[in-house]
Amino acid sequence: MKKLTYKARKETDTAPLKIQGRVVMEHDITTLKKGNYRITIEAWRNKASHSQFKWLFGGIYPQTLILLNDIGYEFTNVDQVDIFWKELYANKELLIRETGEIRLVPLSKSEFLTIDHMAFVSNIRNHCINYLGSDIEDPDPDWKQRKLEIQAAIEKEAQNKINANEL
């Protein structure tokens, strides 16, 4: 028999559990054959997202590479920095300050849940503040606008050079 799995959400402590695809679930349950079954409800969390890893590898690791090299390390790429941080904070129980929860953060990033990523990044940022004397910048929510502004400035500068050469 195929395992039946459904997602549900509870908005508040007193609200009822809202099952996504309730009609399908009810159909699947009513068509089960006679027998004994176990129903388990467990907390479900999302896997860490692509954008979270883009920030980790494109923002946090490059910034920490510079900070670590400033104090004497000789890292040449973000893969080395990734190994450095994993040795310090992966496969260990970490405090998630935002929730007060202690979680064992997996060694493999493919197993990272959103909350694991949050704990891992939080510990890297705290390490940078406490031991490297600098904080990691947050991602820029207006990065698309900034990119357009930079491109416009580059194009204007190029046009100015062309106009200066024509004189």
pLDDT of residue 167: 64
Which residue did the predictor score with more confidence, 110 or 131? 131
Q: For residues 127 and 152, state if they share a domain.
A: no
Task: List Cβ neighbours of 101 (8 Å cut-off, separation of 6 or more).
Answer: 95, 115
The H-assigned helical ranges of 32-142 are 50-55, 61-70, 78-89, 114-131
pLDDT band at 80 (very low <50, low <70, confident <90, very high): very high
Q: For residues 109 and 167, state if they share a domain.
A: no
Instruction: Please check whether residue 159 lies inside any domain of the structure.
Output: yes
pLDDT, tens digit, for every residue of 113-126?
A: 888 888 899 999 99
Is the pLDDT reported for residue 60 higher than 80?
Answer: yes
Q: For residues 70 and 95, state if they share a domain.
A: yes
Q: For residues 104 and 148, state if they share a domain.
A: no
Number of structural domains, the chain?
A: 2
* Domain that includes residue 119, residue range: 54-131
Instruction: Please check whether residue 14 lies inside any domain of the structure.
Output: no
